[in-house]
A and B are shown apart, each in its own frame.
Chain A
Amino acid sequence: MKRMTAMLLAMQLVLCGCGTVQTQQVKDAKTICVVLKAMNSVHWMAVESGLEQAASDFGVSVNILYPQSESDCRAQKVMIADAIASKPDAIAVAPCDANEMDILQQADQNGVRAFYIDSSSTKYDCPYIGSDNYRIGELAAKKIASHLNTGKIAVISGSLQQSTHYERVQGFRDYMEQHTKLEVCAVQENPDSGEIESMKSMQRLLEEHPDVKGVFCTSAMMVLGAMRQRDREERTDILLIGVDTQSDALLAVEQGEILAIVGQDGYQIGYKTIQTIADALDGKDIDDAVFVENDLITQDNVKKYLSH
C-alpha cells in the first residue's frame, strides 16, 4: 500500500509540471543606435544592409536613423540627441557636419559609448569605422597622375564640413603637390553631394577653367553628375575619377566613360561597424580606427565588382 501511495505521489509530481505557464521574453539584446547622413544613395543603402546583416549575425538590435538628405545637419543633430536620450548601449554616427559633434558629449553623460561610422570628427574623440579617406584621395591622385603629366586638375567635393570629403580632398591635394607636376586649380564644394548640384559645379568649373584635364569627384553621385555635364558640353577628353562602389558608376567605368572609381564598400562599412561595436560592448579592446579596404576599380577589373 505504501508503495502504491509513493507511486501515485510521483505521478502527481509529473502531472504538476504540466501546469506551469510559460511566457518567453525576448533575450536581453544590446541596442545600438546608428545615425547616418541620409538614405538617398546606393552607398547608404549598402551601409544599412551591412548594419542589419551584422545585427542579426551578432545578436544585437540596431536602430537606424537618418535625415532626409546629407545637408540636413540640424535634423541629424536632433536625431543624435534623441538617439542618445533613448539610452542605447552604443551609438554610431556618420556626421553630416563634423563641426557639430560636440553633441556627442551627451553620450558620455548618458553612459552611451559613441563611435563614428563612415565619417569622423575631431570635435569628439571616439573610434572610427570606415574608409581611410585620405588614402582614397591618394589612390585617385595616383591614378590620374599615371595618365597625365602636366596640366590642370580640379576637384568636385561634397561638404567640406564632412571629414570624408575633406580628407579625400586633402589626400588628393597632398599627393599631387608632393609627387606630380599637376596643378589642382579648383575645389568645387557641393554640400549635399548630389548629382544635379554636381552638374552645376562641373558647369562652373568648365567656365572658369576650360583647360582642365581631369576631375576628381569625392562621391559616385557627383562623378555621375560631372560625367553628364561633361558629355553635354562634349568635353570627353576630361578624365573623371570617383569614389564609392556603386553599380551605375561601375557601368560607366566599364563603358570607359569614367577612368576609375576608388571603391568603398558600404556593406563592409556597415558590417564592420556592428562587429566592432559588438566586440567593444563585450569588453574587447578595439582599434581607434577600423578601416575597410579601398580598391581602385578600373576598366580592367570592373567586371569582378559588377558581378556581385
Chain B
Amino acid sequence: MLSVNLKQKLLLSIMTISVVIFLIFSFLIYRQSADAIEQNYNNMVTGNMNVCAAAFDNLMREAYFTAVDAANDETLPELLAQQKHTDIEDHLGQYLTGDIDAVYCYINGHAQLVRVTRQGTQTERCTSDKIIWVHHTADDIRNPLMPVSTVDRLGTIRKNIFAYEQPVAAPDDTRILGYVIVTVDERTAFFKCLQNRQTGSDREIYITTPEGRYASCSNLNRLGKPEEKIGENELKSSIQAPLTGYSFHSVVNRDVLTGDIRRAGSRILLFSVLLLLLSGVSIWIIVRNMLTPLQQLEEAMQQVSQGDLTIQTEVHQNDEIGRLAAGFNSMVRQLDSLIGELVTQKMLKREAEMEALQYQIQPHFIYNTLNTIKYAAILQNAKEIAQLLEAFIELMQLTARNQGTFIPLEREMHMVDNYVRLQMFRYANSFEVEYDIQPETKRCYIPNLLIQPLVENAILHGIDLKKENGRIEISAMQIGDTLAVRVRDNGRGLTPEELQKLMTGQKPSKFSGIGIGNIRERLRLYYGTRAEMRFHSENGSGTTAVITLPVSYDENEYTI
C-alpha cells in the first residue's frame, strides 16, 4: 500500500464516493431513458405496423373474395364444361379488378391453363407438374385465409406473388372441374403496405410468412429466404396480421434511437469530470487550510519532545483545533514552570545539605584530641573540665553522626542540651534553661539543626548575659497532627527592625552555621505551607519563637 496522509485519504475517499455515486446515477438514468425511448418507439412502431397489417389484410381479403367469387360463379362451371376458352377468358376478365395482378384458371382433365393478366389474356397447355405448385396451396393443414407467398411459375415473369386458390366444383358438387388462382404482386403489397412506412434508411420494415420466410421486403434477393437474425444492437418490433397470419417486423438500430441521449450522456460525463476536478481542488484547499494548524501543532509537539519547553504554537481560530492549540500552549507553559520549580528545589536542598555537611570535617581527629584532653583533665582531677569536654565531644559526635536530614526530636534535644551546658559554662551559669518536652513528641522526626539555632539566638541575642536571671524555656508538644516547638526567653526583646533582619538575614549561627532564614527556608522546602515559624517579641519582655510542623514518625516521609 502507498503511504498516504490523512489529507490525501480524505480527499481520495470523498472523490471516490462522488465518482461512484455519480456513475451509478448516470447509468440508472441512462438505462431508464433508453428503456422509455425504446418503449415509446416500440409503441409507435407497433401502431404503425398495425396500420400496415390492416392494409395488407384488406389487400389479401380482396384477392380472397375475388377467388371465392370467381370459383363460385354460376356460369364458370358451364363454361369449363364446354371448354370455351375465349368465353372463359372474357368471363374471368371481370375479376381482374383493383390490385389483382392475375387470375389463372386451370381446367382439370384437359391440362389447359387460362391466364388473365394485366398484360393480356391467353390459354395454353399446362403440364401437370406445374400444377403441383397449385396443389400445395390446397393442402388441408393450411389456413385457407392465408395467401401463399411464392414465385409465380405460371406467369411469363418469375416474380414473387401472393396467391389464393379455390376449386371450381361442378354445380352438383360431384367433382372438381378446375381451380381458380388469384394473385397479387409482391411489389403491389410492398408499395401499398410497406414503402410509405419506411422512414429513411435507418429503419426497415418487412413481412414474413408464418414459417418465417421473407414475403415482402425492399431487398428482392431476400424474398422466399428464411428470415435473418437481427444484429446485436438492433431493436425489433413484430406484430401479426390477424387475417392472413403474416408477421410484420420493424428493425431499427439502437444507435439511431438512443444516439441523442448517449451524446447528452457523454456531455454530462465531461461536465461532471470537470466539476469533480474543481471540487477536488477546492476540497484539497479546504482540507489543507483545516490541517495547517494541526501540522504546526505536530511540529511544536516534536520540539517539546526534544526538550524545548519554551515553544508556543499559533492559535488561528476558535474552533476545535484552535482550542487544542491553546490547550497545548498552556500545558507546555505549566510544564515549563513546574520543571523549573523542581530544579530550583533540588538545588536549594543540595545547598542546605552541603551546609550541614560542613560540620563533619575531620571529626575523628577532633574527637581523639578532645578525648586525650578529657583524660588529661581527669588525671589532673579537673572534673569539671572533663565534664565539659565530654559534653562538647558528644555534641560534636551527634552533629557528625547525623548523616540523615531528619532526626528524632529526642536527639536534637540531646544536642541542644550539650550545647546549652557548654554555653552555661562559658557564661558562668548566668542563665538557666527549662525543658518541657512531652514524651510522645520525643520520637517525632524533625529536620536536624532546627532548634539549636533558635536556642543559640536566644542565648546570644535574647537574654542579658550580664544579669543573673536569664531564663530560656524550651517546650515541645503535639496538638493533633501538628508538632509545636517553642523557644522562649525573658530578655530585652527585639525591635520590629531586628525581627525583620533576623527573619530574612543570612547571618549564620556561630555553632552550626545555620541562620534563622535558613530554618524558614528548609521548612518551606520540606513541608510547604504545612509548617511555619513565627516570632513574637515585645521590647523588654523577651522573645518567643514557635515552629509548627506536621507530626511524622517516618524518617523519610518528607525527604525530598
Q: A residues engaging B (CB < 8 A)?
A: 4, 7, 10-11, 14-15, 17-18, 21-26, 29, 31, 33, 61-63, 65-68, 72, 74-75, 78-79, 81-83, 85-87
Contact = CB atoms under 8 A, between A and B. Distances in A.
Given A22-B38, A85-B143, A67 B68 contact: yes
Contacts of B144: 81-82, 85-86
Nearest to A73: B72
Nearest to B46: A24
Given A11-B24, A62-B242, A78-B72, A21 B143 contact: no
A78 B166 contact: yes
B214 to A, nearest CB: 17
Contact of B234 (A11, A21, A75, A86): A21
Contact of B243 (A14, A21, A63, A74): A63
Q: Is the interface of A mostly helix, strand, loop or mixed?
A: mixed
A12 to B, nearest CB: 10
B479 interface: no
Contacts of A66: 65
Interface in B48-77: 57, 61, 64-65, 68-69, 71-72
A131 B65 CA distance: 28
Contact of B242 (A4, A24, A61, A65): A61
B145 A86 contact: yes
Contact of A68 (B24, B28, B65, B142): B65
Given A21-B236, A26-B240, A63-B57, 7 more contacts: A14-B28, A24-B237, A26-B238, A63-B145, A82-B144, A85-B142, A85-B143
Nearest to B235: A22
Given A21-B234, A72-B72, A82-B145, A63 B242 contact: yes
A33 B61 CA distance: 13
A254 to B, nearest CB: 35
19 contacts: A7-B20, A11-B20, A14-B24, A14-B28, A18-B31, A22-B38, A22-B235, A23-B236, A26-B239, A33-B145, A62-B242, A63-B57, A65-B64, A65-B145, A67-B65, A79-B68, A82-B145, A85-B140, A86-B143
Given A17-B31, A23-B236, A24-B237, A78 B68 contact: yes
Interface residues of B, number: 39
A63 B143 CA distance: 13
A202 B237 CA distance: 58
A72 B69 contact: yes
Contacts of B34: 18
Nearest to B28: A14
B145 A23 contact: no
Nearest to B167: A78
A65 B61 contact: yes
Nearest to B169: A74
A201 B11 CA distance: 102
A165 B230 CA distance: 56
Nearest to B66: A68
A69 to B, nearest CB: 10
Interface in B225-254: 230, 232, 234-240, 242-243, 245
B20 A14 contact: no
A22 B238 CA distance: 11
The 10 closest A-B pairs by CB, nearest first: A82-B144, A61-B242, A86-B143, A74-B72, A86-B145, A63-B243, A75-B72, A26-B239, A23-B236, A85-B144
